[in-house]
Structure 1
Amino acid sequence: MVQIEEIRRSFVSRLKEALAAEGIPEWGAGVRLAKMAKVTPKACSKWLNGESMPGGTKMLALAGALSVRVEWLEYGRGEMREAVTAQPVDHRIPPREFNLQDDKSYTGVLQLTARGSTGSDDDNSHVEIRGVLAFKTEWLRANRLNTKHLDVIYADGHSMEPTINGGDVLLIDESKIEPRDGQIFALQSNSKGTIVKRLVRSDFNGWIIRSDNPDKAKYGDQILSDEEINEVRIIGRVVWRGGML
Structure 2
Amino acid sequence: MLKDRLKLARKNAKKSQQAVADAIGVTQSAYSQLETGRVDSSSFLPAIAKFLGVDAYWLQTGKESEKFDPFITVDSVVATEDYKDEFIWIDVVEAVFSCGVGESIEFHFDTINGKIPFSPSFMKDKNVTDKTMKIIKAKGDSMADYIKDGDLVGINLAQTEIIDGEIYAVYLAGEGMLKQIFKEADGSLVLHSLNEKFPDRIVSEENGRNFKVIGRQFWRAG
Same fold, TM-score > 0.5, yes or no: yes
Moved over 6 A (4+): none
Partner of 1:135: 118
Deviation at 1:105, TM superposition (A): 2.8
1:124 equivalent among 88, 105, 111: 105
What RMSD over aligned residues (CA atoms) do the two structures have, in Å? 1.9
Counterpart of 1:238, as a letter, is: Q
Structure 1 distance, partners of 2:171, 2:195, is 20
The secondary structure found in structure 2 opposite 1:119 is coil
Aligned equivalents of 1:152 and 1:210: distance in 2?
Answer: 21
How far did 1:140 drift? Answer: 0.6
- Supply the AA of the counterpart residue of 1:198: Q
**What is the CA deviation profile of residues 154-207 of structure 1, one whole-angstrom value per residue up to 9, with x for unaligned ones?**
10001011111001110011111111110100011224x111101001144311
- Distance (whole Å) between structure 1 residues aligned to residue 188 and residue 101 of structure 2: 24
CA distance in structure 1 between the partners assigned to 2:133 and 2:81 by the alignment: 20
Decide which of 110, 122, 137 is 1:154's aligned counterpart: 137
- Supply the distance in 1 between the matched residues of 2:119 and 2:219 (Cα, whole angstroms): 13
Identity among equivalent positions (%) equals 25
Alpha-carbon separation, structure 2, partners of 1:136 and 1:158? 30
Distance 2:121 2:157 in 1: 20
| Structure 1: distance between partners of 2:102 and 2:167 | 17
Q: Secondary structure at the match of 1:148?
A: coil
Distance in 2 (CA, whole Å) between partners of 1:120 and 1:227 is: 19
* Structure number, greater radius of gyration: 1
Deviation at 1:132, TM superposition (A): 1.1
Q: Distance in 2 between matches of 1:126 and 1:238?
A: 17
**Secondary structure of residue in 1 paired with 2:122:** helix
Which secondary structure does the structure 1 equivalent of 2:104 belong to?
A: coil
Which of 178, 189, 200 is residue 207 of structure 1 equivalent to?
189
Contact 1:207 / 1:226 at 8 angstroms: preserved in 2?
Answer: no
1:180 corresponding residue in structure 2: 163
**Could you tell me how far apart the structure 1 residues matched to 2:211 and 2:82 are?**
41
Q: Offset of 1:124 from its aligned partner? A: 2.9
Structure 2's unaligned 5+ residue stretches are 1-79
> Separation in 2 of the partners of 1:158 and 1:234?
20
TM-score, structure 2 length as denominator? 0.58
Counterpart selection for 1:234 from 205, 213, 221: 213
Q: Please state whether the residue corresponding to 1:139 is helix, strand or coil.
A: helix
Unmatched 5+ stretches in structure 1: 1-99
- 1:142 and 1:205 map into 2 onto residues whose CA distance is 32
